């Protein structure tokens, strides 16, 4: 069915069509999951994708820092306690890498909270942004809040 004609004014003119007021949707936040547990990373990828994020996870056959920088995430979910390179080594590499200051870190570990505190201070000392640190198992709602955090 054709669209109805535009109304005609008293002067015999039709009003101009207004451009759509819709704003383009913002692109989803990009999250990179750096965890050595493939099953956990896969579940987390699925859960965060379902929350509207663009998610990629570590391929253990490739160098982590190269994958992280190639994906250019807004948020890096970083497992601190994993086989080399561990989270501390990755943070050291990121500290000296162009473009890493724009990303926000969310730290996670199955180790004690003390280790996460040390890791947070380690990141902050290297002028990297940390939105949170979580002990596994994670609570998705808390993780989503940290991933959505807007840090200076």
| pTM beyond 0.75, yes or no | yes
pLDDT tens digits, residue range 87-139? Answer: 999 999 998 787 777 899 999 999 889 999 999 999 999 999 999 999 999 99
Domain-embedded: residue 116:
yes
Task: Please report the pLDDT score of residue 99 as a whole number.
Answer: 73
Mean pLDDT of 28-33: 95
**Residue 16: inside a domain:** no
Q: Is residue 15 part of a domain?
A: no
What share of the chain in percent tops pLDDT 70?
Answer: 82
Note the pLDDT of residue 98: 79
CATH number of the domain where residue 48 is located: 3.40.50.2300
Count structural domains, the chain: 1
Q: What is the DSSP string of 62-104?
A: S-HHHHHHHH--SEEEEESSSSSS-HHHHHHHHHTSTTGGGSE
Residue span of the structural domain in which 54 resides: 30-148
At residue 128, the pLDDT reads: 92
The verdict on residue 93 lying in a domain is yes
Q: What pLDDT shows up at residue 100?
A: 76
How many Cβ atoms are within 10 Å of 115's Cβ, its own excluded? 18
The sign of the CA dihedral 30, 31, 34, 37 is: negative
Q: What is the pLDDT of residue 133?
A: 95
């Amino acid at each position: 069915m054709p669209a109805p004609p535009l109304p005609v004014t008293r002067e015999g003119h039709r009003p101009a069509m207004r451009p759509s007021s819709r704003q383009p949707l913002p692109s989803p936040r990009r999250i990179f999951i750096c965890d050595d547990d493939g099953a956990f990373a896969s579940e987390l990828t699925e859960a965060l994708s379902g929350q509207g994020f663009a998610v990629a996870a570590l391929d253990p056959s490739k160098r982590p820092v190269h994958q992280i920088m190639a994906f250019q995430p807004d948020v890096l979910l970083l497992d601190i306690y994993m086989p080399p390179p561990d989270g501390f080594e990755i943070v050291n590499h990121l500290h000296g890498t162009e473009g890493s200051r724009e990303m926000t870190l969310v730290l996670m570990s199955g180790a004690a909270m003390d280790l996460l505190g040390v890791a947070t201070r380690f990141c902050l000392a290297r002028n990297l942004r940390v939105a949170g640190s979580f002990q596994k198992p994670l609570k998705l709602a808390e993780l989503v809040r940290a991933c959505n955090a807007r840090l200076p």
